[in-house]
Each structure stands twice: as C-alpha cells, then as structure tokens.
Amino acid sequence: MPGVGAVAEGTGGVVLHDYWRSSASYRVRIALALKGIVYGRVPVDLVAGQQRAAAHLDVNPQGLVPALQIDGLVLTQSLAIIDYLDETRPAPPLLPQGAPARAHVRALALAIACEVHPLSNLAVLARVEALAGADARAEWNRDNIGRGLSAFERMLDHPGFAGRFCHGDAPGLADCVLIPQLYNADRWGVSFDHLPRISIVARSCAAHPAFLAAHPDNFAPLAQAAAAG
C-alpha cells in the first residue's frame, strides 16, 4: 500500500491522515473518540500543500483529508468513514433507530457536509480571493456559514430534538458534523448565539469527553510538540 502511514504501537493499525484544523478530519476524530478507537496519525499540512504531494495522493487521490487506514483498508470521505465505523463497530450507535429518524439525522449531516462545507473549502476561498479580494473572501465565507447554520437550526426543530444533542439524548452523526462547523464559525467570527438549539448542542458537546479529545487544539503542531517534549 504506497503512501500509507507508519503504524504506531497500540493503535491496532488504525491511522488517520488529517490536518488539525480540517473540519472533515475533526468529524472523523470525534467519531473515533465516540467509538473508543485508538489511532495513530499522519498529519498532512494543508497550508504547506502536502495534500498534493505524491505520497498523500497515493492515500487519497482527491488530494483531501481525512483518510483512514483501518482493517487493511484505506478509506476516504469523512461521512463514508463514519458510516464504516458505525457498521463495523456498532456500539455506541451514531444513527438512531427507525428509517425516518435515520433519514433526518443523515439530512442534518449532509446539510453541512454537502452544502456549507464545500463552499468554504481552501480552494474555493482562494479562488474567491483571487477574483474579488480578501474582504470578499471573508464576506463570502461568513455569509455561507451563517445561512447554513440558520437552516440547520430550523431543521433541529424536529420531534427528535430532546434538548441535548442534535437527535435524542446521545451524540451521533449529526453532532460529529455540526461541531467542526461551529469551530469554523468561531474562527470566522460568525456568531450562533441567536440560534438556541445549536447553542444547546454546542454546550452539550463541549462537555463531552469524545468531543474534548477530538478538539483541534489538541492536534495543533505546537500542542503536539509540547506533548512529545
């Protein structure tokens, strides 16, 4: 398997290729932590362009993170990875019981992963900046995130919202996708204080050990150097 990461001891061969600030990577880190799966990491520096290096393209031909080595496979696309984890390691479940509830939770996850996130990707933002300048880049991104979160808030107005997580009283797929998007919102100065359901979910997840373990601050290059030294 060319380009795959070295397998660290005690990780059972599970290796995540990620970037500390990547929200798609953060989704998978949350799911891994919820499932209690120990993993090693191959950090891919997106700012330095390492996602386009041959070694990474062997892992993910799309030149994106995350990618996950697990069970002798190399998986890409964060939602496909999370689905795989849920199918192969069902406890705790990341999707609710019943087709209608599952469809709703998938719709929540896709509302961010398919509609909001792709328009805020590095390549898109760089292109907007090249065409219209740095202010336009920031305005584009804030507008995109703000509209997406407002729609998400309305989608949470659903019988499955029990006042803790996106659906029911345990974290699941939709929370894995929402929380990284909220991290991005903070970075870009987009407030969600006026969105009550999202604010409740944000507070619940902020106190949950799996979300704390997956937080980008733990994976920033300086934090990693301090932990090692």
Ligand X SMILES: N[C@@H](CCC(=O)N[C@@H](CS)C(=O)NCC(=O)O)C(=O)O
Q: Which residues contribute to the site for ligand X (CB under 6 A)? A: 22-24, 46, 51, 64-66, 77-79, 113, 121-123
Burial classification of residue 193, based on how many CB atoms lie within 10 Å of its CB (0-12 exposed, 13-18 middle, 19 or more buried): exposed
Nearest-approach distance from CB 152 to ligand X, in angstroms: 16
Listing DSSP states for 91-138 in one string gives SS-SS-SSHHHHHHHHHHHHIIIIIIGGGGSHHHHHHHHHHH-HHHHH
Question: Residue 98 CB, nearest distance to ligand X (Å)?
Answer: 25
Which two tokens mark 15?
A: 């290796």
Q: With respect to ligand X, which residue has the nearer C-beta, 7 or 53?
A: 53
Q: Which two tokens stand for residue 183?
A: 């991290």
CB closer to ligand X, 121 vs 199: 121
The residue among 124 and 200 lying less far from ligand X, judged by its C-beta, is 124
- Least distance CB 183 / ligand X (angstroms): 11
Q: Cβ closer to ligand X: 65 or 156?
A: 65
Cα–Cα distance, 155 to 227 (Å, whole number): 40
Q: How far is the CB of 97 from ligand X (least distance, A)?
A: 25
CB 148 within 8 A of CB 112: yes
